[in-house]
Structure 1
Amino acid sequence: MQTADSDTVSHGPDTTADASSGALKGLRILDLSRVLAGPWASQILGDLGAEVIKVEQPDSGDDTRAWGPPFLADGDAGPDERFSAYFLGCNRNKRSIAVDIANPKGAALIRALAKDSDVVLENFRVGALERYGLDYASLATINPALVYCSITGFGQSGPLASRPGYDFVVQGMGGLMSITGQPEGTPGAEPMKVGVAVSDIFTGLYATISILAALRHRDATGEGQHLDCALLDTQVAVLANQAMNWLVGGMVPKPMGNLHPNVVPYRTFPTRDGHAIVATGNDRQFHALCRLLGLEQMTTDPRFLDNASRVAYRAEVEKPLGDAIAGWATADFIAAMAEAGVPGGPINRIDQVFEQPQIAARGLVQEMRLPSGTSFRAVGFPVKLSATPATYRAPPPALGAQTGEVLQTLLNLSETEVSELRAAGVVGG
């Protein structure tokens, strides 16, 4: 496989490094989740040093293993052993065990692992794990200190609790699609989802935060607890100012394209050869923009004296600014804004994102290698911890690759016992 140029890739922390300096060293996460929200949370915990055991269904595994193209072939592996780019993006620093939890012997293995785990993470439908004795109530009887995190579409209670939930559905139900896209009545206007599964991602982030809070409580009291995370709850929570515009001001937000409902000017403007973002957050920056464009008279116009006035006279503000910006080349305008202290920037394609020197300087692209030696690039952990940095210890695992290792080392099963479980279809790998 072709590797990245040296000025793009940061080899950063050694991918063979252990978690000895990780902030979460010593924590064991038993991850029964799949797709994105749960795996995103467990990858974060793994990056920060936790041991993550990913439990997958034999033969099929995590749904996202098949979500492609594109795929990355593992050396000479066949088509059933290739890695989807999607799966590679959220499953590093984990060990995979393939266990049929519907088999009583398989469920017993998971219960045995849960007994000595700090966290169980799952995203099954409400009540689905109770039949296998893998719900919170069952596992808490054998491990009272267990932090058990459930991620569902709509939570463990309420009239929609039994429904399956997917990011796309929740973006619609949670209001995000009603404020995304072109303004009503303009070309191309229709309800529009965000280009990344943000309801899943945000839920994974809230789940991670909540797990760490629950572990803090566990360390102080010895008491575990059940965390009930819902995609819909999270999506409503991250409506942020748009939710408050309704709750406080009675304003029903609508799609505004690249305009901002509360700040002016804060949008994209056409340039001579493309578009540029202008993001003035205060009066000082607005005045600097006007001076840059030779529009000093706008700084003393009573209609534009503060942001609230500019919102009221949005069209009158943006028309002269747009006319002036239209004559600039994009790169020249962005450079001039930076010099003048006006926040702004380009609109990059994804490939252009990874060409930026800033991205290379921050070490956001990490090179990892599969056991076969096949290399690939991945987006690394975005926060720089000075004492306990994230580590990239293991690439995303093949389905069930560590089944024998985990069962033998953690449950003291013999190689013969593991082989018998494989022959009976209880485990794979």
Structure 2
Amino acid sequence: MSMAVAAAPARSTSAPLPLAGLRVLDLTQVMAGPYCSMLLGDMGADVLKIEPPGTGDQTRKSMGFRMKGSDSPGFLALNRNKRSVTLNLKTEGGRRVFYELVRTADIVLENSRPGVSKKLGIDYATLREINPRIVYASISGFGQTGPWSQRPGFDLIAQAMSGVMSGTGYPGQEPVKCGVSVGDMGAGLFATYGILSAIIGRQATGEGQYVDTSLFEAAFALSIWETTELWATGKSPQPLGSANRMSAPYQAFPASDGYFVVGAANQKLWLLFCEAIERPDLATDLRYAENIDRVANRLQLVEDLKPVFAGRTVAEWVERFLAAGVPAGPINDFRQAAESDHVHARNMVLDIEHPAEGSIKALGFPVKLSGTPQQVRFPPPLLGQHTRDLVDELGMADEYEKLEAEGAFTR
């Protein structure tokens, strides 16, 4: 199957990718789990996406807009470098094939509600009897234990119950969630971190272990800056719009033709900031003498700065601040970011050939490896595209028709 991928800046190499030789059985759907398994696949792992027959990953059909084929853009975005196998794990034949796959695997990843995998007979306790070296990772809404463990989990709920939404938006306005799915994406990242840690630990013990993470804990753990304010002051952090809790000025400001951001996050930058805006009087104003004073008087500082910024365009202010050594930038929308020269130079948008869609765009690899640059080895798979191949790989080719008749690959 051919595919065209934008040229990577890293040198070509015949060395295997870092996770080559590791096999992942990915039972997850939607976002957090598929993101985790995609990261593992991007680094060379052999990811087998185990999907329910007929429907597959529910994200295949879940978004409100489509491409040319039957799969949604959301599914395409999260499932490159995987092979799709359809298995009905409610049937004896489906479980038998899965157990054979477990014997060949290093990692199992699932995101069912706690207790579901045990009912299906595919929980960690069962699978480690088959393969003691297996690293088994569960991603759920709230974790496998605790009073909230049986609650359904979505990114919105995780952001709300972790405190993230309480500190997002503007004071006195309706609650706002973070536009990026920090619970889902964070859980996928933390699961990857846990899985690879367990794989490294296995080298010493010879045994795998159980990895448990959740959307709630990911969102809460990423609130590490906000919780410092809670414990230092005894008060829960309130929403500040684009401002920073620990530094000022560090936020968005209106110029004559739109908004830009600037960050004077320390005393040196503050003095350079005052020079850049030609307001030396602010540098000597006792209300703004030190960062702690500027944070305490942030609202007044903003009011003092607004008339200054109204006199120039976004581009003019950004250029002026950067020339002075003060971090600043325009507020790009996603199109502007995706089409920027920097994104192009960093190879952060890929063109991938897909068997049903033709050429599709996807985000590139956010971590660059100099010795073993990542590549798109497989486009997002069609549902069940590799089922027969995997059954053959397991040495079960002679049983395929019998297993199919028993419903192992169908609903």
- Given candidates 375, 379, 385, the residue that maps to 1:401 is 385
Q: Percent identity?
A: 40
With over 3 angstroms needed to count, the CA separation of the structure-2 counterparts of 1:168 and 1:285, relative to structure 1, is same
- Given candidates 251, 254, 279, the residue that maps to 1:270 is 254
SS in 2 for 1:106: helix
- Are the aligned partners of 1:19 and 1:49 in contact in 2 as well (CA < 8 Å)? no
Which whole-Å CA distance do the structure 2 matches of 1:425 and 1:158 have between them?
Answer: 37
- Are the aligned partners of 2:255 and 2:311 in contact in 1 as well (CA < 8 Å)? yes
- Given candidates 24, 39, 42, the residue that maps to 1:44 is 39
TM-score normalized by the length of structure 2: 0.95
- Are the aligned partners of 2:93 and 2:406 in contact in 1 as well (CA < 8 Å)? no
Write the mapping of 1:402-417 to structure 2, written as runs, cut at 5 A. 402-409=386-393, 411-414=394-397, 416-417=398-399
TM-score normalized by the length of structure 1: 0.91
- Tell me the amino acid that sits aligned with residue 425 of structure 1: G
Structure 1 counterpart of 2:408: 426
Q: How far apart are residue 372 of structure 1 and its match?
A: 4.9
- Given candidates 57, 60, 65, the residue that maps to 2:60 is 65
Q: Deviations over 1:103-144 (max 9, x none)?
A: 111112111111220000001111111122210001011111
Structure 1 counterpart of 2:17: 22
- Tell me the amino acid that sits aligned with residue 115 of structure 2: G
Structure 2 counterpart of 1:166: 154
With over 3 angstroms needed to count, the CA separation of the structure-2 counterparts of 1:222 and 1:425, relative to structure 1, is same
Structure 2 counterpart of 1:279: 263
- Tell me the amino acid that sits aligned with residue 378 of structure 1: A
Q: How far apart are residue 20 of structure 1 and its match?
A: 5.0
With over 3 angstroms needed to count, the CA separation of the structure-2 counterparts of 1:120 and 1:19, relative to structure 1, is farther
Which whole-Å CA distance do the structure 2 matches of 1:325 and 1:361 have between them?
Answer: 31
With over 3 angstroms needed to count, the CA separation of the structure-2 counterparts of 1:357 and 1:399, relative to structure 1, is same
- Are the aligned partners of 2:169 and 2:176 in contact in 1 as well (CA < 8 Å)? yes
Which whole-Å CA distance do the structure 1 matches of 2:164 and 2:380 have between them?
Answer: 31
SS in 2 for 1:89: helix
Q: Which stretch shifts more, 315-324 or 35-44?
A: 315-324
Q: How many residues align?
A: 407
Structure 2 counterpart of 1:79: none
Q: How far apart are residue 428 of structure 1 and its match?
A: 4.6
Write the mapping of 1:328-407 to structure 2, written as runs, cut at 5 A. 328-372=312-356, 374-407=358-391
Q: Which stretch shifts more, 253-262 or 85-94?
A: 253-262
- Are the aligned partners of 1:55 and 1:96 in contact in 2 as well (CA < 8 Å)? yes
Structure 2 counterpart of 1:217: 201
SS in 2 for 1:294: coil
Which whole-Å CA distance do the structure 2 matches of 1:125 and 1:423 have between them?
Answer: 30
- Tell me the amino acid that sits aligned with residue 364 of structure 1: M
Q: How far apart are residue 380 of structure 1 and its match?
A: 1.1
- Tell me the amino acid that sits aligned with residue 323 of structure 1: P
- Are the aligned partners of 1:100 and 1:106 in contact in 2 as well (CA < 8 Å)? yes
- Tell me the amino acid that sits aligned with residue 297 of structure 2: Y
Which whole-Å CA distance do the structure 2 matches of 1:167 and 1:18 have between them?
Answer: 39
SS in 2 for 1:332: helix
Unmatched segments (≥5 aa) in structure 1: 75-81
Matched, 1:322 2:306: yes
Q: How far apart are residue 378 of structure 1 and its match?
A: 0.3
- Are the aligned partners of 1:22 and 1:391 in contact in 2 as well (CA < 8 Å)? no
With over 3 angstroms needed to count, the CA separation of the structure-2 counterparts of 1:18 and 1:300, relative to structure 1, is closer
Which whole-Å CA distance do the structure 1 matches of 2:268 and 2:300 have between them?
Answer: 19
Which whole-Å CA distance do the structure 2 matches of 1:97 and 1:35 have between them?
Answer: 16
Write the mapping of 1:217-236 to structure 2, written as runs, cut at 5 A. 217-236=201-220
SS in 2 for 1:30: strand
Q: How far apart are residue 413 of structure 1 and its match?
A: 1.3
- Are the aligned partners of 2:93 and 2:407 in contact in 1 as well (CA < 8 Å)? no
Q: Deviations over 1:141-168 (max 9, x none)?
A: 1111110001111111111212221111
- Are the aligned partners of 1:276 and 1:346 in contact in 2 as well (CA < 8 Å)? yes
Matched, 1:11 2:7: yes
Structure 2 counterpart of 1:92: 80
Hey, which bits of structure 1, 4+ residues long, moved more than 3 A?
17-20
Q: How far apart are residue 389 of structure 1 and its match?
A: 1.9
- Are the aligned partners of 1:179 and 1:256 in contact in 2 as well (CA < 8 Å)? yes
Structure 2 counterpart of 1:78: none
Matched, 1:34 2:34: no
Which whole-Å CA distance do the structure 2 matches of 1:340 and 1:117 have between them?
Answer: 55
- Are the aligned partners of 2:350 and 2:363 in contact in 1 as well (CA < 8 Å)? yes
Q: How far apart are residue 245 of structure 1 and its match?
A: 0.9
Unmatched segments (≥5 aa) in structure 2: none
Q: How far apart are residue 303 of structure 1 and its match?
A: 2.4
- Are the aligned partners of 1:269 and 1:326 in contact in 2 as well (CA < 8 Å)? no
Which whole-Å CA distance do the structure 1 matches of 2:361 and 2:64 have between them?
Answer: 16
Matched, 1:144 2:140: no
